[in-house]
Amino acid sequence: MAANREKMRRLIERLIPDISLQKMAERLVPKHFTAKPRLHYVKTLNKESIESNWKILRGAQTELSDDDQQLLADPSSLEYIEAFSKNIENCIGTIKLPVGIVGPLRVNGFFAQGDYYLPLATTEAALVASYNRGACLITKAGGCSVVILNDGITRSPGFVFKNLIEVSQFVLWAQDQFEAFKEVAEQTTSHGKLVDTFTTVEGNHVYLNFDYSTGDASGQNMATIATAAVLKYIASNSPIKPKHMFVEANFSGDKKASALSFLSVRGKKVTAEILLEKSLVERYLHTTPAMMVEYWRLAALGGVMSGTMGVQAHYANGLAALYLATGQDVACVSESSVGITRLELTDTGALYASVTLPNIMVGTVGGGTGLPSQSVGLKIMGLNGKDRVHALAEVCAACCLAGELSIMGAMCAGDFASAHQSFARGVQHSK
């Protein structure tokens, strides 16, 4: 990473004043004193295992008190602690986040139909209020239209060969093995299906992406286990043996924003749109459609010039809060929040708005969706259990549309900073 020489000097002086080069070096060298004790891992959690881990922590970290332990390992958490056994290691309890409700949000989708209450878990003041305002606007307009465009999840195993001769021979062999790969992969799961593969060659490296459908689960573990089984088949049956092979070679876009998002899909690719009359924009957002489009044009170019992956305001805000409240893999916000927001002014002066998200990674079964609190979040939405994952993905896109309309409206009306002061600091400002 590059750093300006003068800025680096000032940073060191500010963070570590009056330190000599010798002292600085001493802080950075490896040290080999006895490490603090490790916590105990058990396959099935219980009150005794939690107490044992807290005993270790409190012995090594003297600032911790009985009250601190009670905040994480409270009676309610301990009552359900066994339910977390397959979701966490070295467990010491649960963390509490405030949960607010957005809605009703009216969604007119292929799968999601009707009014939805959305649970958002967050510590950011004004976030729930902002998304709620967007939801009220959408509902007042009759709801947004939402469509699933694509569905799938990828794993991208990588292979290393001696040279391009071996690469070409392997690729030709692998192209004829799809049915065998499919059979092997689907023996590992009753829900996942291998749908397609595509191959990328770079020198003596081969990336063999596997596309799966995963039913109602988010499916990341499902895809990993299935792909590992295929790699065992390749190791046993390929006439050209790779020097090395790895179950994931960083070509799938897993937990990161990538250009691949707009060429393929990771999770659910969803688009949502709405047409808002001028009077509604003025009433709920305190601005005009023309000003909204003007701001969108400026912000879109700002995103392009700064190199953002996609162009949008804050998908991550709503998705992270919704993922936390419903037991999704929150790290997948990194790819889920890639997308495009677009605003246009119609011939009649109304506002057309759309969002397109190519990587909404959600599930209604598996992962954290069955945990006590998170299952309640899905029940609030009426989207827990089987045959509801596509509806959940559509609601996620609608949620993002609500957030985009509200935040851009606040920017146009000059309310963005004052709203955060009001909600986060309790300071009221008159205009």
H/E run at residue 213: strand 205-213
Q: Considering the entire predicted model, what is its pTM?
A: 0.90
H/E run at residue 107: strand 99-109
Q: Is 183 a catalytic residue?
A: no
**Interatomic CA distance for residues 298 and 213, integer angstroms:** 38
Q: Any idea where the domains of the chain sit in the sequence?
A: 44-96, 100-151+268-425, 157-246
Are 138 and 144 within 8 A, CB to CB? yes
What is the residue type of 32?
H
pLDDT of residue 14: 78
**Interatomic CA distance for residues 314 and 410, integer angstroms:** 13
Query: Which overall architecture, per CATH, does domain 100-151+268-425 show?
Result: Alpha-Beta Complex (3.90)
SS3 49: helix
Query: Which overall architecture, per CATH, does domain 157-246 show?
Result: 2-Layer Sandwich (3.30)
pLDDT of residue 265: 84
For the residues of 279-343, what is the DSSP string, one character each? Answer: HHHHHHHSS-HHHHHHHHHHHHHHHHHHT-SEE-S-HHHHHHHHHHHHT--GGGHHHHT-EEEEE
263 secondary structure, DSSP code? T
Task: Give, to the nearest 10 degrees, the angle between helix 416-425 and helix 389-413.
Answer: 110
Please give the angle made by the CA atoms of 108, 319 and 375, to the nearest 5 degrees: 85
Are 187 and 229 within 8 A, CB to CB? yes
Dihedral through CA 115, CA 136, CA 355, CA 156, nearest 10?
-50
**Interatomic CA distance for residues 214 and 223, integer angstroms:** 8
Q: Which of 191, 205, 286, 420 is catalytic?
A: 420
Q: Count CB-CB contacts under 10 A for residue 390.
A: 20
Are 399 and 102 within 8 A, CB to CB? yes
281-314: burial string, b at 16+ Cβ within 10 Å, e else: beebbebbbebbbebbeebbeebeeeeebbbbbb
Same fold, 100-151+268-425 and 157-246: no
**How far from chain centre, in Å, is Cα 228?**
24
Contact residues for 251 (Cβ-Cβ < 8 A; gap 6+): 156, 158, 200, 207, 209, 260
Are 376 and 335 within 8 A, CB to CB? no
200 secondary structure, DSSP code? E
Are 104 and 135 within 8 A, CB to CB? yes
Q: Which of 124, 186, 277, 344 is catalytic?
A: 124
Q: Is 67 a catalytic residue?
A: no
Query: Residue 245: CA atoms inside 13 Å, Cβ hemisphere, count?
Result: 23
pLDDT per residue, tens digit, the chain (431 aa), is 556 777 777 777 777 777 777 877 888 899 999 999 999 889 999 999 999 999 999 988 878 988 999 999 999 999 999 999 999 999 999 999 999 999 999 999 999 999 999 999 999 989 999 999 999 999 999 999 999 999 989 999 999 999 999 999 999 999 999 999 999 999 999 888 999 999 999 999 999 999 999 988 888 889 999 999 999 999 999 999 999 999 999 998 888 888 887 888 888 999 999 999 999 999 999 999 999 999 999 999 999 999 999 999 999 999 999 999 999 999 999 999 999 999 999 999 999 999 999 999 999 999 999 999 999 999 999 999 999 999 999 999 999 999 999 999 999 998 655 544 555 556 554 44
Residues in the chain: 431
Q: Is 420 a catalytic residue?
A: yes
Query: Residue 398: CA atoms inside 13 Å, Cβ hemisphere, count?
Result: 36
Q: Which of 277, 294, 329, 344 is catalytic?
A: 329
H/E run at residue 237: helix 220-237
**Interatomic CA distance for residues 72 and 241, integer angstroms:** 51
- Helices and strands counted in the chain (H then E): 16, 11
Q: Which residues pair with 245 in a beta bridge?
A: 159
Contact residues for 316 (Cβ-Cβ < 8 A; gap 6+): 333, 337
Are 244 and 160 within 8 A, CB to CB? yes
